């Protein structure tokens, strides 16, 4: 697959911290302390900074995708068995403070909350986001053009996830030892095409079209995600690929069907007014620029 990478550490993260105290995304009773812009970088001294240490109960119960509470034996900044603890952003630092020594430090800076929150891994939690696109067409099959910009309108597959109720790209976590290409196909097929509930014959038809489309993708982003789940010691990273159905006759012609973690799915017009989960709007903008589409 072709690659067009990028990184968002050049600007401050905002979705996972505010200047004033705010509740954590999954628990209204758990507050983040406020982190003003000038205090976000770790190199800026802040002797009184001592946010609460919080990891959700379902993570502490140690499901198969979660790390143990203890850091003992974990190999950060390296491939740790099947678990890739390397960051797309480069080498991250480890905390040296008493009581939290050895914990990975968020490369984007302070978030107002220690621990892992709802994330399973200490340090980077890797995901993959498939951005499937087609040109918007009228009833005659002609590509629709925005008269204000004189550019063609691009559409992408968007879903609403059960856990946060916001429109998003149908991505998901990369399993330990899993190739990112497998993750991309699986998440799109399960969440946007609902292959988990299709009849066997239909699954084969859908899978063939998805495989053909996903054989030719362009990487549009690889790096840190400004995600509301992030904490000082655990954060989201992703690899986002664009898979474009230029003719609209393969995946672009299928009826979308929400499944697995999704409760809604639709072809969505791409434009600057989109309100999407985490950093997804930034990824979509990159795709629009890639195709010289309306934005």
Alpha carbon of 143 to those of 85, 135, 217, 269, 293: distances in Å?
44, 6, 22, 12, 11
3-class DSSP assignment, residue 185: helix
- Mean of pLDDT values over 164-172: 81
136 inside domain: yes
Does residue 56 have a pLDDT over 50?
yes
Does residue 5 have a pLDDT over 70?
no
141 inside domain: yes
228 inside domain: yes
Closest by CA to 66, choosing from 129, 134, 116, is: 116
What would the pLDDT profile of 64-94 be if each residue is shown by its tens digit?
999 999 999 999 999 999 999 999 999 999 9
Give the model's pLDDT for residue 159.
82
Does residue 145 have a pLDDT over 70?
yes
Residues spanned by the domain of 168: 126-290
Does residue 62 have a pLDDT over 70?
yes
Give the model's pLDDT for residue 212.
83
Does residue 35 have a pLDDT over 50?
yes
149 inside domain: yes
258 inside domain: yes
- Mean of pLDDT values over 205-234: 89
Which domain CATH number covers 132?
3.90.79.10
279 inside domain: yes
What would the pLDDT profile of 238-262 be if each residue is shown by its tens digit?
999 999 999 887 776 666 665 555 5
* H or E element in which residue 205 lies: helix 200-214
Give the model's pLDDT for residue 279.
86
161 inside domain: yes
3-class DSSP assignment, residue 155: strand
pTM of the model: 0.87
Alpha carbon of 258 to those of 133, 191, 269: distances in Å?
17, 5, 18
Domain count, the chain: 1
7 inside domain: no
Does residue 3 have a pLDDT over 50?
no
Distance of CA 233 to the CA centre of its chain: 17
């Amino acid at each position: 697959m072709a690659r067009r990478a990028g990184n968002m550490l050049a600007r401050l993260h905002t979705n996972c911290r505010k200047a004033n105290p705010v509740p954590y995304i999954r628990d209204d009773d758990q507050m983040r302390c406020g982190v003003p812009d000038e205090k976000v970088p770790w190199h800026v001294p802040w002797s009184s900074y001592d946010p609460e240490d919080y990891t959700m109960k379902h993570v502490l119960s140690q499901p198969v995708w979660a790390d143990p509470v203890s850091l003992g034996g974990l190999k950060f900044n390296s491939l740790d068995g099947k678990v890739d603890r390397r960051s797309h952003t480069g080498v991250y630092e480890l905390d040296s403070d008493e009581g939290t020594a050895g914990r990975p430090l968020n490369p984007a800076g302070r978030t107002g909350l220690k621990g892992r929150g709802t994330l399973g891994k200490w340090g980077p939690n890797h995901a993959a986001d498939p951005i499937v696109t087609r040109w918007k067409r009228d009833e005659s099959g002609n590509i629709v053009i925005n008269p204000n910009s004189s550019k063609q309108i691009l559409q992408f597959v968007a879903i609403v996830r059960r856990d946060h109720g916001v429109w998003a790209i149908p991505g998901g976590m990369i399993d330990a030892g899993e190739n990112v290409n497998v993750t991309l196909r699986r998440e799109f097929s399960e969440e946007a095409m609902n292959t988990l509930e299709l009849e066997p014959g239909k699954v084969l038809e859908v899978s063939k079209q998805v495989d053909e489309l996903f054989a030719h993708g362009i990487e549009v982003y690889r790096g840190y995600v400004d995600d509301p789940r992030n904490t000082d010691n655990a954060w989201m990273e992703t690899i986002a690929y664009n898979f474009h159905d230029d003719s609209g006759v393969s995946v672009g012609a299928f009826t979308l069907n929400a499944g697995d973690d999704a409760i809604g799915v639709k072809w969505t017009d791409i434009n600057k007014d989109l309100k999407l989960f985490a950093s997804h709007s930034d990824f979509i903008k990159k795709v629009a620029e890639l195709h010289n589409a309306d934005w």
